[in-house]
Amino acid sequence: MFGTAVTLSSGEFPDVTLKGAGHQDAHEFSERITQAWTRVNLAALESEAARLDKILTEVMSLAAPSRYPAACQIAPLLEQARALDASLLSKLNAEAIGPETVARIAPIRKFASDPRTWRANGVAAFVTAELDRWKDFFDTIERNPLTPEQRLSVVVDEDATLVLAGAGSGKTSVITAKAAYLVKAGIRRSDEILLLAFAKNAAKEMSERVEARSGVPIVARTFHALAYDIIGIVEGSKPALADHATDDLAFTNLIKQILIDLVRRLSDVSHAIIQWFAHFLVEPKTEWDFKTKHAFYTHIESQDLRTLQGEKVKSYEELQIANWLYENGIDYEYEPVYEHKIAETGMRDYQPDFRLVESGIYIEHFGVRRQKLADGNEKLFTAPFIDCDEYLAGMKWKQWAHAEHGTTLIETYSYERQEGRLLSGLAEKLAPYVTLRPRPVDTIYNRVVELRQVDDFSKLLGTFLRKFKSGGYSLQDCEAKSDRMKLGKRAGAFLDVFAPVFEEYQKRLMGRIDFEDMILRAARYAETGRYVSPFRHILVDEFQDISQSRARLVKALKAQHPDVRVFAVGDDWQSIFRFAGSDIHLMRYFGSEFGGSFDGETGVHRAVDLGRTFRSVDQIAFAARTFVLRNPAQIEKLIVPAGIATEPAIRVVTVSKGEDAAKLSEVLATLSAAAAPNAKSATVLLLGRYRFVEPDVRDLGQRFPQLQISFKTIHASKGLEADHVILLNADSGRTGFPAEIVDDPLLSLVSPEEEAFPNAEERRVMYVAMTRARHTLTILASNVRPSSFVTELKQDPAYGVAAPLGLELENHVCGECAGRMLGVAGRNGRIYRCEHVQHCGNQLPACQWCGTALPRLIDGTAEARCGCGATYPACPACKDGWLVERSGSYGKFLGCVRYPTCVGKARIASGARSAVTQPRRRSSV
């Protein structure tokens, strides 16, 4: 009635409305505007026609891609599609361009909005078609057709691909097939493929195998050979290689010689070196750092608490005192029998901690700390797991004994070390009685050499030096990390020695380079572009052994071209060369370290689990998998075993002291007897955590001609396999298995991240040992000090370990310290003693009726019962003992079996029957 309104809508500006126009005029105006808008839209489309067609063709090809749609390949397409959508496609009016054009541009818009789904669909389509297309190739490239998992790993070609190749899963077949596939499929020329291995023989074998299987001549190289070539290309010649670079023994000897030379200079450095050996060689932990006696004793036994004089002491603080006395020329005896006989104690002879030879002064070190009370007095207290009242009473008794017999006693206390004045306070207390005659530095060092403490320290310094260089660390980095980790004075003392050793080592290179220099120099040349890489595919074998410096070189080569792929094959379960610089975290965080980026997501990569093992039967394969996955940080993998065991495949054989050779012969005799008369000789691989456990293999071979017997350390056995594996000396201790001297906490200063799980690397070493076996695994372990690994395997039914041959490993807990009570042959029959025999000393006889088992106290009762059925009255004075009938000056009584350690007793009621209940005998029918 009042006219027509025309509204103009714009995406960039507010709507504009014209009111009161004539109806006819408004419609004509609207039509002309719409036509003009259509012409603008069509003109814009026409101007971008070529660009649109190109993008559309590539997007549509993702439905059936001819090449693997890796992130690095699709990311540029996504960038182009989103740019076109933002500048044009999102602004087009559907009515203006028409339904056909809308349908035509829809794939680009959908891809731009949901690229991950499009790429995932493209990957799935490509893999399915490619597996079918190359079926004949996969069937014939190796002697046996590749498994589905192996085929998948070959056709997957992500920015970074990690192939999880468990023990015996055919990783070499995968690398061989991958290299041949890349060339035969026309994806790469042979000179664009880089094959990397860690050892010369592995590289040589890989090169020969690729060419023999595929006819493709691709030369595999070690990291060091590649780095050396890069340096030669950039510098025009290759610098000389240090003599010790290829000889670990020569390298360790060089470190030892540097230490000797630094000591002889009689400088501040020589003092720092002596201080290290005297006071910081072992971890400075005391009983206050542990919650239980068992944990404390276990730690102490893992440390070599040997003084400069040569004896082993029972605590770190005693070690400090003994070494201070030795440094200052004060002759002493450790734990001598007190010169006066103290009668009627019922205990063993009193042995003070130290007696000074010249002056006759005694020193007792008391493990107590002190607390200031509100009234100003002091309260002494012990570690939580030590009976404070009993300990303080023992202190008073020792003070009384010296006062009673007129001997001089110097007392030191744990709180003095806590307050930083243990040794200075000792010097003040001894000043009236002794004259200090400090021994010359070189004399002390010669003593250290005699004790063979320099050997292990030189290895530690060498490992630290290599990791320090390869990781590009500085001393400031190490000091800062030490502060963050609260490693204390020990780390500072170590760095005081390492700094001059490293400086001297660098001087002695004299223009030559070591392997660490070689890798890092090559990496810098690649990072700065002075070296231009021709490689587009980098294939890395044994990836679990990669170090930070090698990873840096790979990353530098990858960064030179946007389409470079990294194809890594390895098994984090077999990462056992941390001492040589390998860093397992590079594999665990493979995506973030080597992956690409796509649609805002970083670390894009693909992992393929080979799963199937061609080596071990089910019992061994599954037990090894369960064992290594106790560490939750290990990457979980499925395992398909090589076969089904028809008899127990894993067995523990317990060995008494001195019976190692005899037990090994028994096991070999059993294997030899089981071999078929005319069959091919069975292979037997003897494995040891250390080389010193190697038996006389030649003699064994002559005695058992039906068997092919060889010996390797577990580290040297990587890649090997045998019908039967025998693991030797699976015992506890510093040089047992797990080894307790492998990973010094100081190495964490030059490691990106410390592994939190106990014995993480040693557990992987055990996995390697287990998975060398095809049919059987036999573990020889001490019946007194079995390895914690052996105990775990035996106690957990999940491992399916056969009942051990020989003496059964007893699972009794020590009532004194919570360690294990182990059965051994005693002078008067079988006895059970605590595993911490040097510290705890708890010892119990076997049951007097059966002579083999150990009676145990029954909760809620006052008796101890043996498995044979015999029962005894529980001792009222201790946690472990029971009462047996004894005779004294006043007749018969009941006394504790732990006498004289425990003096618990009870009367025999007049006319009562024996307190001991004999086991019931079974009647025969």
> Any binding-site annotation on 172?
yes
Strand-pairing partners, residue 871, are: 865, 917
> Any binding-site annotation on 215?
no
Rounded to whole angstroms, the Cα distance separating 493 from 96 reads: 80
> Any binding-site annotation on 168?
yes
- Asked if 410 and 430 touch (Cβ cutoff 8 Å), the reply is yes
Q: What are phi and psi of 378, to 5 degrees?
A: -115, 145
Q: What string of H, E and C letters represents the secondary structure of 422-472?
A: HHHHHHHHHCCCCCCCCCCHHHHHHHHHHCCHHHHHHHHHHHHHHHHHHCC
Rounded to whole angstroms, the Cα distance separating 419 from 373 reads: 17
- Asked if 343 and 405 touch (Cβ cutoff 8 Å), the reply is no
DSSP code of residue 907: P
Strand-pairing partners, residue 491, are: none
Rounded to whole angstroms, the Cα distance separating 786 from 729 reads: 9
- Asked if 598 and 116 touch (Cβ cutoff 8 Å), the reply is yes
- Any idea how long the chain is? 925
- Asked if 110 and 103 touch (Cβ cutoff 8 Å), the reply is no
Q: What string of H, E and C letters represents the secondary structure of 189-218?
A: CHHHEEEEECCHHHHHHHHHHHHHHHCCCC
Helix (H, G, I), strand (E, B) or coil at 568: strand
For 703, residues 6+ apart whose C-beta sits below 8 A from its C-beta are: 665, 668
| Residue 919 half-sphere exposure toward CB, CA atoms < 13 A | 17
Buried b (16+ CB within 10 A) or exposed e, 357-395: eebebbbbbbbbbbeeeeeeeeebebbeeeeeeebeeeb
DSSP code of residue 728: -
> Any binding-site annotation on 169?
yes
**Rg, C-alpha atoms of the chain:** 37
> Any binding-site annotation on 170?
yes
Interior angle at CA 145, CA 141 and CA 149, nearest 5: 105
- Asked if 350 and 338 touch (Cβ cutoff 8 Å), the reply is yes
Strand-pairing partners, residue 220, are: 195
* Helix H or strand E segment including 25: helix 23-47
- Asked if 505 and 245 touch (Cβ cutoff 8 Å), the reply is no
Helix (H, G, I), strand (E, B) or coil at 413: strand
- For tokens 């490293």, name the residue: 502
> Any binding-site annotation on 236?
no
Q: How far is CA 180 from CA 217, 539, 564, 683, in A?
A: 9, 12, 17, 33
Alpha carbon dihedral 181, 184, 187, 191, in 10-degree steps, equals 90
Q: How far is CA 33 from CA 8, 26, 354, 507, 712, in A?
A: 9, 11, 108, 83, 88
Burial class (CB in 10 A: 0-12, 13-18, 19+), 31: exposed
Rounded to whole angstroms, the Cα distance separating 197 from 718 reads: 14
For 728, residues 6+ apart whose C-beta sits below 8 A from its C-beta are: 660, 664, 686, 687, 688, 693, 695, 780
Query: Checking DSSP bridges between strand 601-604 and strand 596-598, what pairing results, if any?
Result: antiparallel
Residues in binding site for ATP: 165-172
Residues in binding site: 165-172
